[in-house]
Amino acid sequence: MALILAIESSCDDTSAAVLENDCVLSNMIAGQKVHEMYGGVVPELASRAHQENIVPVVDAALRSAGVKTTDLDAIAFTGGPGLLGSLLVGVSFAKSMAWALGCPMMAVNHLEAHVLAHFLQQPGQRKEVPAFPYLCLLVSGGHTQILKVCGPFQFETLGTTIDDAAGETIDKAAKIMGLPYPGGPVIDRLAKTGNPKAFRLAKPRIPDLNYSFSGLKTSFLYLVRDHLAENPDFIAENQADLCACIQQAVIDTLLDKLIKAAEQHRIKDIAIGGGVSANSLLRSRIEACGREYGWRTFLPPFSYTTDNAAMVGMAGYFKWLQKDFCPLDTVPYTRQGR
């Protein structure tokens, strides 16, 4: 039995969780409203907010789980990729605490944590988990990848974006329409009453299982710019349709390659992860694909779609089982390849 404290601070959410093995006892997240007025995450402000939040968030996670620091067996933290100033807060805090308690630490890769979130369990209930190898469509603000997950830390990248990420594309479309940051949840909500066929957008044509979203983004920008030249109220009058069109174009593109990957690799356990996996159209379309292609689908609960420490704790627990601990001189890294 392992009681693990997990810490996530890679971007603009400060989060702490307590896990008993794979079971989540608590998962606290402090978001940062300060970035809304800038239309995107301001790294300097993010690290300052992490500094303010980290102690209260860890304290709340421990209290909610009914666990004392001296009960902890290990500490897991996000080592990267992410913003350096943000990561430094969580990594330094975790290292100091592990050193003070004399317990081992596990440095977790943020993307691996998103992928492994499907193994998290809640107290008193066991749910089905994917069987290896499974496919995971990882879609967030910074990443868009199709991964073949052969084991907890054995991934094969089958496809990746060659330019913008799916979440980034949606956020940029929201910015073009003057909608608040992050645009994903807003577009999701507004698109519900819009017509996804109202406007034509350029469809990416990229070979293999890779993605490209920059052409779609430019096509959306030109569409809005050209119509605005004729009608200054174009955005306000067509907001729902514009949201439905960009959302549909992104989701169609994501699914097209995911279906190909599943066919080529003959895999029927299909998972999604990352912030964009909260999108209601993506979720319903994945379930529809499940019925059509006989997939067993795994959609993370909403609280585990965007950044959270529970998923870091899950990856940390897999490392604990492998005794894959990290030394005290571990430093954060900003990019996936380090």
Residues that bind ligand KG4 (CB under 6 A): 11, 140-142, 167, 170-171, 182-185, 188, 274-276, 278-279, 306-307
End-to-end CA distance of the chain: 32
Taking the complex as a whole, how short is the minimal distance between the CB of residue 329 and Zn ion, in angstroms? 26
Cα 158 from chain centroid (whole Å): 18
12 near Zn ion, judged by CB under 5 A? no
> Whole-number minimum distance, CB 109 to ligand KG4, in Å?
12
Going 249 to 254 to 260 to 262, the CA torsion angle's sign is: negative
The minimum distance between CB 204 and ligand KG4, in angstroms, equals: 18
CA distance 150 to 319: 15
User: Which of 140, 248, 277, 297 touches Zn ion (CB under 5 A)?
Assistant: 140
Q: Which of 79, 115, 15 is nearest to 5 (CA)?
A: 15
Nearer to Zn ion, 87 or 244 (CB): 87
**SS3 category, 123:** coil
Minimum CB–partner distance for residue 233 and ligand KG4 (Å): 26
297 binds, among Zn ion, ligand KG4, none (CB under 5 to 8 A by kind): none
Nearer to ligand KG4, 62 or 276 (CB): 276
Cβ proximity to ligand KG4, 79 vs 274, nearer residue: 274
Closest residue by Cα to residue 61 from 312, 242, 247? 312
| Stretch 279-318 residues interacting with Zn ion (CB under 5 A) | 307
- The C-alpha torsion from 81 through 89 and 276 to 147, rounded to 10°, is 30
Shortest spacing between CB 192 and ligand KG4, in angstroms: 11
Closest CA to 314 of 7, 14, 22: 22
- The footprint of Zn ion (CB under 5 A) covers 140, 307
